[in-house]
A = this chain, B = another copy of it.
Amino acid sequence: MTPKRPLILVTNDDGISAKGIYSLQKAVASYGDVVVVAPDSPQSGMGHAITISEPLRLKKGDFFEGVEAYSCSGTPVDCVKLGIYEILHRKPDLILSGINHGANTATNVLYSGTMSAAVEGAMEGIPSVGFSLYDFGSNADFNDAMEVVKTIVSGVLTNGMQKGVCLNVNIPKVPPGELKGIQICRQAHAFWEDRFDKRMDPFDKPYYWLTGNFVDQESSNDTDLYWIDKGFVSVVPTQFDMTAYSALDDLKKWKL
C-alpha cells in the first residue's frame, strides 16, 4: 500500500501569472497533489484583508500544465478560504504561499498578503509556509529559492507543525549557488519611516503616493533581517495569537 499523497494548496499575493507562484507549484509538484488558488491581479500589501462588501469571482484555468488551478478576484486570504471551503471541501495537508517577489521580513509580515495567507492556514490548523525572495524583479531567478522550498516542505512533512504556528521563510538575493544556509530566528523590530509623495492632478487637487524607508532599530544577531543580510535564508515561526502576554500583569495593576 502506497502512502497517501499530501494535498497541497498553493497561493500568493503577486497574482496567478507571477513567476514566483509558477516556481512554487513547480518545486512541490512531486511532493503531493497540488491545487492552486491565487489572485487574478496583484494583491501586495493587502495584509489579512478579506472581501466582505462585494462578491468574489473564481475562474478555473490552464495556468500551469497538469495542475488544477483557479484565479480569484479577492485577496490572498480570500483564496485560502475559497480553496478550503468551496473548491477542496476539505482541509489540505499543507498550504504554501509565494514565492513572493520581495522580502517579507520583520514587521512586513503584517502588511504581507503572502504571509497573511499562511497565517490564515495556521488559523485553520493546517501546516502553512510563506516564501519570499528578496528580489522585486518580475524576472528574478527563483532556482535557488525552489531548492529552499523543497528543503522546508520536506521538513514540514516530516516534522509537522506546532498548532497555531506557520513559517515565514525569506530568501536573500545572492548569486546562484551562494546561499549560506538556513537560520531559525525571530521577527526583527524594524519599521517603515513613511513618506508621502504629494502631487497635483491636472485639476489642481492633491494626491499622495505612499513611499518610505525601512529602518532596522535593532542590532541583534537573532533576527530575520540580520540573517538575510548575511546571505542566509531566515525562517521565523509565526503565530496568529497577538496577545502581549508580557503586558498582562502590568495592565492588571491599572485597576480599571
Within 8 A of B (CB), among A157-208: 158-159, 162, 164-165, 167, 182, 184-187, 189, 191, 194-196, 198-199, 205-208
Copy number in this complex? 2
Q: Which single member of B110, B111, B199 contacts A55 (CB below 8 Å)?
A: B199
Given known pairs A78-B210, A165-B247, A208-B86, the reply for A242 and B44 (CB within 8 Å) is no
Cβ contact within 8 Å between B241 and A189: yes
Q: Which residue of B is nearest A256, CB measured?
A: B182
A: number of interface residues (CB 8 Å): 77
Bound CA span A196–B57, Å: 11
Within 8 A of B (CB), among A115-161: 116, 119, 123-124, 151-152, 155, 158-159
Within 8 A of B (CB), among A64-87: 75, 77-78, 81-82, 84-86
Cβ contact within 8 Å between B55 and A208: yes
The answer to the question of A248 belonging to the interface, with a C-beta cut-off of 8 Å to chain B, is: yes
Cβ contact within 8 Å between B189 and A56: no
Q: How far is the CB of A235 from chain B (nearest CB, A)?
A: 7
Cβ contact within 8 Å between B119 and A194: no
Bound CA span A45–B81, Å: 14
The answer to the question of A231 belonging to the interface, with a C-beta cut-off of 8 Å to chain B, is: no
The answer to the question of A221 belonging to the interface, with a C-beta cut-off of 8 Å to chain B, is: no
Q: How far is the CB of A39 from chain B (nearest CB, A)?
A: 12
Residues of chain B within 8 A (CB-CB) of A185 are 248
Bound CA span A246–B236, Å: 11
Residues of chain B within 8 A (CB-CB) of A239 are 242-244, 247
Q: Which single member of B53, B85, B159, B186 contacts A245 (CB below 8 Å)?
A: B186
Cβ contact within 8 Å between A52 and B162: no
Given known pairs A123-B191, A237-B247, A247-B237, the reply for A208 and B155 (CB within 8 Å) is no
Given A46-B47, A110-B119, 9 further pairs, Cβ under 8 A: A47-B50, A48-B49, A48-B110, A50-B111, A50-B210, A56-B196, A56-B210, A57-B206, A164-B244
Q: Can you give 10 contacting A-B residue pairs, CB < 8 Å?
A: A55-B209, A57-B206, A107-B240, A110-B240, A119-B242, A158-B254, A162-B246, A186-B245, A237-B248, A239-B244
The 10 closest A-B pairs by CB, nearest first: A47-B48, A237-B247, A239-B244, A237-B244, A55-B207, A186-B243, A182-B256, A47-B47, A49-B49, A165-B244
